[in-house]
Amino acid sequence: MSSAVIASECKRRRTFAIISHPDAGKSTMTEALALHTRMISEAGAVHGKGGRRATVSDWMEMEKARGISISSTALQLRYAATGDPDDFPHVINLVDTPGHSDFSEDTYRVLTAVDAAVMMIDAAKGLEPQTLKLFQVCRHRGIPVITVINKWDRPGQAPLELIDEITERIGLIPTPLYIPVGIAGDFRGLLDRRTGDYIRFTRTAGGAKIAPEETMTADAAAAREGDAWTAALEESELLAELGQDHDQEMFLAGQTSPMLFTSAMLNFGVRQLLDSIIEYAPEPKGRKAIDNVEREVTDPFSAVVFKVQAGMDTSHRDRLAFMRIVSGEFERGMVVTHAQTGKPFATKYAQAVFGRDRSTVDTAYPGDVVGLVNAMALAPGDTLFIDPKVQYPPIPSFAPEHFSALRVTTADKYKQFRKAIDQLDAEGVVQVLRNDVRGDASPVLAAVGPMQFEVVTARMKAEFNVDTVIEPLGYSLARRTDEQSADELARQRGVEVFTRSDGAVLALFSDKWRLQFIEKEFADLTLEPLVAAAD
């Protein structure tokens, strides 16, 4: 494959995720984006709201009951940006982030697969805890952020208040590309700060269709909207005086954030969001391997697995590994090498997955996300390649804060239990810790959030038909130690030593005072903090 083709495929690709607090409208926006790119003809199709039924596993039931997204998948949209003279269709990969705060480790992995993030904020609520957490991950990884103030059709804060809040609380300077005309709750249209034009929206019944828009000159807007237009104009001028205009370099450096105002529900401002993603979000770039050598996008195929998932559908039990392509062209059927084992991996079953729909992928390029079926050997962070060999740095794991013993309650299911534990461990659902005292029948699970344990028991039952119980342990933090220190540590009260499945020796402590005491008493013991993503 010629590198010119790959370079041009990269040029038209954008890969991003929406980060938001639950309820800010991420699902609604995802649908609105699908509607605008004509993936679907009416809102309600992707998330099954339009009365669609699908076979779902118990696990999916749990996801539905809790209204959270446990699965992480990717939606590929094709879109010809407005004003593009050649009608050049862009390819937008929207990678879905898990929605619950408990899933930060998962979310972190997903965010290693994107080149930009859209931070979606509810106009009435402003910055919320989950948004802040996710934003910190983006900042940590150097992912540029586009800010979207959603639900502008409902009463909320003033644009300048929201801008101040973001600047003050997270030190990110919003540079609005558009200013809403009409206060929150009276969304009439947008002032395009670059052209000075007015884009007026018209509601459609139930917001199910793309909202028609009409572009008007400033004079026509002033005549039509009166004070609402004048207010928007004044806000825009004030921001210009403050220097809050879009600057591509500062955006890519994570200092500023292009800002938009939308109503995902009414489909207002969605086209503008798509256009802004095309115009400003970076195209896929090469990546540094562990030997510090950069693999360029035009080099032979390579990809990083960022998520492994099983049990999406009980009717055909399988295991999917999602990879983000870093370089080269992917062709279904290609045999690639798994860097971690050196073994060949056949890609006969490559799929694009979104929600419950799957379709076969034949070719894919850097930035694309492809699901590989039956990927039993693959784990998050693994590299796949075509010669020459490349291996990307592993995805750092989070410092777990919750620890529970897992016990099988049906005696004759021990074999399945072990198999299930190994699988969930390999997928990175939880970390699995063992020691001689507890034995193999009762491993200890370590996770960032306690909901991860529920995922384990639910999947044990749904996929392996094994009943298990979770017994929370009185530990709240872990330190990495070594064999030399292990015996002394194991003798201490409120401390237990384990070996993690990757071979790391971990000491668990009941609380930070216990840890501090031991650190003081036994200064020569090895006790290192585990990597936290936000470090």
Q: Which residues bind ligand G4P (CB under 6 A)?
A: 20, 22-28, 49, 99, 150-151, 153-154, 263-265
Give CA 101 to chain center in angstroms.
Answer: 12
Q: By C-beta, is 49 or 194 nearer to ligand G4P?
A: 49
Q: By C-beta, is 22 or 300 nearer to ligand G4P?
A: 22
Q: By C-beta, is 15 or 262 nearer to ligand G4P?
A: 262
The closest alpha carbon to 102, from 56, 55, 149, 62, belongs to 62
Minimum CB distance to ligand G4P, residue 27 (Å)? 3
The pair of structure tokens assigned to 57 is 């596993």
Strands 335-338, 343-346: pairing is antiparallel
Minimum CB distance to ligand G4P, residue 125 (Å)? 11
* Residue 398 CA neighbour count, 13 Å, CB half: 20
Minimum CB distance to ligand G4P, residue 150 (Å)? 5
Q: By C-beta, is 47 or 434 nearer to ligand G4P?
A: 47
The closest alpha carbon to 152, from 18, 266, 234, 236, belongs to 266
Minimum CB distance to ligand G4P, residue 153 (Å)? 5
Minimum CB distance to ligand G4P, residue 90 (Å)? 24
Q: By C-beta, is 69 or 431 nearer to ligand G4P?
A: 69
Rounded Cα distance, 98 and 105, in Å: 10
Q: Which residues pair with 66 in a beta bridge?
A: none
Within 300-428, strands assigned E span: 302-310, 319-327, 330-331, 335-338, 343-346, 350-354, 357-360, 363-364, 369-373, 383-385, 402-408
Q: By C-beta, is 21 or 413 nearer to ligand G4P?
A: 21
Q: By C-beta, is 211 or 406 nearer to ligand G4P?
A: 211
Which helix (DSSP H) or strand (DSSP E) does residue 409 occupy?
none
Minimum CB distance to ligand G4P, residue 390 (Å)? 36
Q: Cis peptide leading into 98, omega within 30 of 0?
A: no
Minimum CB distance to ligand G4P, residue 138 (Å)? 17
Q: By C-beta, is 99 or 367 nearer to ligand G4P?
A: 99
Rounded Cα distance, 283 and 368, in Å: 11
The closest alpha carbon to 175, from 46, 267, 91, 276, belongs to 276
Residues recorded for the chain: 535
* Residue 127 CA neighbour count, 13 Å, CB half: 18
Minimum CB distance to ligand G4P, residue 333 (Å)? 36
Minimum CB distance to ligand G4P, residue 134 (Å)? 12
The pair of structure tokens assigned to 36 is 């605008």
Q: By C-beta, is 27 or 309 nearer to ligand G4P?
A: 27
Minimum CB distance to ligand G4P, residue 268 (Å)? 8
Q: By C-beta, is 26 or 246 nearer to ligand G4P?
A: 26
CB 190 within 8 A of CB 199: yes
Render 19-69 in DSSP notation, one character per residue. EE-TTSSHHHHHHHHHHHTTSSSSTTTTTTTTS------HHHHHHHHHT--
Residue indicated by tokens 């390999």: 426
SS3 8: helix
Q: By C-beta, is 150 or 452 nearer to ligand G4P?
A: 150
Q: By C-beta, is 154 or 356 nearer to ligand G4P?
A: 154
Q: Which residues pair with 319 in a beta bridge?
A: 310
Minimum CB distance to ligand G4P, residue 177 (Å)? 18
Residue number of the CB closest to ligand G4P reads: 25
Rounded Cα distance, 303 and 452, in Å: 27
206: left (phi over 0), alpha (psi -120 to 50) or beta: left
Minimum CB distance to ligand G4P, residue 157 (Å)? 15
